[in-house]
């Protein structure tokens, strides 16, 4: 069992901690020794996983733009070399590209040094094998090796080689666009398009220079392409309002046909159409679903739990697909899609409203650059037909009002407290007139209301990792969110353990 010190590093299917000073009250816990022990733990885990001696392993290492990235990369590559492994040092790279090194370069395992969209002082370790990202139980095993001071034997045969894999990865995206757009000018299928990129000073700047510009697109007006691990302009997170405001502004100022935005390590993406409409959250799911269901008639789209009612109607009524509303957590939706496909159910897409989108055609890898590539391909195909991208989701009904409230759980056993509140609320909801408990909900409790009672829905759930109960509320009528919140508030007043 993990002790409290090592338990703090487990963040779902990643390892994360404080890697540098700079924020008051946050001390560095991802120290050199801790990182070295975790690297050794990964070697032991990987050696067992692929049935090879540590000295026979081939491991790639990449990093996002965080200020602590180069130092952590030096520690981990040296530890891998120390056990005799062949180490490919990919330097600045996207998280999805690191998985692809297991496909294209035959690596047994890959490490991406990243903490996604979190503040500059944090960093972490994200691991892959050819089967994809690791499970939470795998991370726990790696941390146990570190906690117990277990290390692989030293060997003199290891080596570190610098590899520019990101250029090869970008070429792969270029070839995909050329083939699927199939323009008259085959080498420049995006000629005549103006597409701006906001990389938020993360690892996504390559997309403007090594993909779009190469294919003929005008990328003038792109923002924050240079890597800067202090993230001086805005948090690199497509879910953040300031980030989406930035790419919307870039599209308007430059008169672009399309804008794309990535998070720090490019496993998430978002977009903005020429009219300034955000292709984000529910609309991003709708666009991705429309693309994924082409050639997959009646296919199943797996999403997280907080998707809107209008999105479900769009997928099932307009696109003719099926909607499987699952739990929050990108790994949850991906694992569910893999499970459904294994059962023989045609499921081409797993996507979370945060922007994590994984397509079956791309190894169910959540890849923001791949998603944006598919959107750009679709925009180019539609232009050939004299259509605009926004026509793809013109019938999507979006809520008039929406909000999210995050209630802090005050009790030490926060999971038990949250589960009791959900159980009590479920019983309460079933007894209330006008409350309709969703029959397809698989996380927390989702309740719908008719036009006379708020004209919308709420979802109360327990956070995946934190002592938080997020409440999402949407309504199709003005003032509906308040009506629904007031109704729910009567119940919440009777609970204990929540900071209301």
Q: Do residues 470 and 452 make contact, with C-beta atoms less than 8 angstroms apart?
A: no
Alpha-carbon distance 492 to 477, whole Å?
Answer: 23
Contacts of 267 (CB under 8 A, 6+ apart): 94, 95, 96, 116, 356, 366, 367, 368
pLDDT tens digits, one per residue of 21-36: 999 999 999 999 999 9
User: What per-residue confidence (pLDDT) applies to 466?
Assistant: 85
Q: What is the pLDDT of residue 494?
A: 96
DSSP state of 448: E
Burial per residue of 272-293, b for 16 or more beta-carbon CB atoms within 10 angstroms, e otherwise = bbbeeebbbbbbbbbbbbbbbb
pLDDT digits (tens, 9 = 90+) for 262-290: 999 999 999 999 988 899 999 999 999 99
The CA-CA-CA angle for residues 13, 124, 244, to 5°, reads 85
404: nearest Cα among 466, 338, 350, 484 = 484
Residue 169 is predicted with a pLDDT of: 98
pLDDT at 18 over 80: yes
Q: Phi/psi at 146 (nearest 5 deg)?
A: -65, -45
Q: Residue 465 has what pLDDT?
A: 77
Average pLDDT across the chain, whole number:
97
Name the H helices within 309-413.
309-313, 330-342, 368-384
DSSP assignment letter at 238: T
Under 8 Å between Cβ of 443 and 326: yes
pLDDT per residue as tens digits for the range 435-492: 999 998 899 999 999 999 999 999 999 997 789 999 999 999 999 999 999 999 999 9
Residue 200 CB-density burial (10 A; 0-12 exposed, 13-18 middle, 19+ buried): buried
The residue length of the chain stands at 500
DSSP 105: S
Residue 254 pLDDT greater than 80, yes or no: yes
For residue range 413-438, what is the model confidence (pLDDT) as tens digits? 999 999 999 999 999 999 999 999 99
Q: What is the pLDDT of residues 313-331, one digit of tens each?
A: 999 999 999 999 999 999 9
Report whether 456 contacts 448 (CB < 8 A): yes
Question: For 479, what's the count of Cα atoms within 13 Å in the CB-facing half-sphere?
Answer: 3
User: 66: phi > 0 → left, psi -120 to 50 → alpha, else beta; which?
Assistant: beta
What local confidence, expressed as pLDDT, does residue 483 receive? 98
- Residue 251 is encoded by which pair of tokens? 């599209």
* Those residues with Cβ within 8 angstroms of residue 15's Cβ, 6 or more apart along the chain or in another chain: 9, 38, 124, 125, 126, 139, 142, 143
Cα(434)–Cα(427) distance, integer angstroms? 14
pLDDT in tens, 195-251: 999 999 999 999 999 999 999 999 999 999 999 999 999 999 999 999 999 999 999
Tokens read off for 462: 């327990």
The answer to whether 195 and 218 are in contact (CB under 8 A) is yes
How does DSSP assign 275-333, residue by residue?
TS-EE-THHHHHHHHHHHTTT-TT-EEEE-TT--HHHHHIIIIIS--EEEE--SSHHHH
Helix (H), strand (E) counts: the chain:
14, 23
Please tell me the predicted confidence (pLDDT) of residue 441.
87
């Amino acid at each position: 069992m993990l002790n409290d010190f090592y338990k703090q590093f487990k963040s779902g299917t990643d390892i994360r901690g404080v890697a540098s000073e700079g924020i008051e009250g946050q001390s560095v816990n991802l120290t050199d020794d801790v990182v070295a022990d975790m690297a050794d733990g990964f070697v032991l885990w990987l050696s067992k996983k692929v049935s090879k001696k540590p000295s026979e392993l081939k491991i790639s290492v990449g990093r996002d733009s965080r200020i602590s990235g180069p130092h952590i990369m030096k520690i981990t590559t040296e530890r891998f070399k120390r056990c005799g492994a062949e180490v490919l040092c990919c330097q600045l790279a996207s998280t999805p590209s690191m998985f692809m090194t297991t496909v294209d370069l035959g690596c047994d395992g890959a490490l991406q040094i990243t903490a996604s969209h979190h503040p500059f002082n944090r960093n972490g370790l994200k691991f892959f094998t050819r089967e994809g990202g690791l499970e939470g139980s795998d991370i726990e095993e790696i941390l146990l090796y570190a906690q117990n001071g277990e290390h692989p034997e030293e060997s003199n045969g290891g080596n570190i080689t610098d590899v520019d894999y990101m250029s090869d990865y970008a070429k792969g995206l270029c070839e995909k666009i050329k083939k699927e757009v199939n323009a008259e000018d085959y080498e420049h299928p995006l000629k005549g398009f103006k597409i701006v990129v906001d990389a938020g000073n993360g690892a996504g700047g390559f997309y403007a220079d090594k993909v779009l510009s190469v294919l003929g697109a005008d990328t003038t007006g792109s923002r924050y392409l240079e890597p800067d691990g202090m993230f001086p302009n805005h948090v690199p997170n497509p879910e953040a309002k300031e980030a989406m405001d930035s790419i919307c502004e870039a599209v308007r100022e430059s008169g672009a046909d399309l804008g794309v935005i990535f998070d720090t390590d490019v496993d998430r993406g978002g977009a903005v159409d020429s009219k300034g409409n955000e292709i984000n959250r529910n609309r991003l799911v709708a666009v991705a679903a429309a693309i994924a269901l082409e050639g997959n008639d009646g296919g199943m789209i797996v999403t997280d739990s907080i998707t809107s009612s209008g999105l479900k109607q769009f997928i099932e009524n307009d696109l003719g697909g099926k909607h499987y509303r699952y739990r929050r957590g990108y790994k949850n939706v991906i694992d569910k899609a893999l499970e459904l496909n294994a059962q023989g159910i045609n499921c081409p897409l797993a996507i979370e409203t945060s922007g994590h989108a994984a397509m079956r055609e791309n190894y169910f890898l959540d890849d923001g650059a791949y998603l944006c590539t598919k959107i750009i391909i679709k925009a180019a195909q539609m232009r050939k037909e004299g259509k605009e991208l926004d026509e793809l989701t013109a019938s999507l009904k979006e809520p008039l009002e929406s909000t999210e409230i995050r209630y802090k759980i005050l009790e030490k056993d926060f999971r038990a407290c949250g589960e009791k509140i959900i159980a009590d609320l479920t019983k309460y909801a079933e007894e209330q007139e006008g409350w309709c408990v969703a029959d397809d909900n698989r996380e927390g409790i989702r309740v719908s209301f008719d036009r006379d009672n708020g004209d919308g829905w709420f979802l109360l759930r327990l956070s995946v990792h934190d002592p938080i109960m997020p409440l999402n509320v949407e309504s199709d009528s003005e003032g509906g969110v308040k009506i629904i919140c007031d109704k729910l508030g009567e119940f919440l007043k009777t609970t204990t353990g929540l900071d209301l």
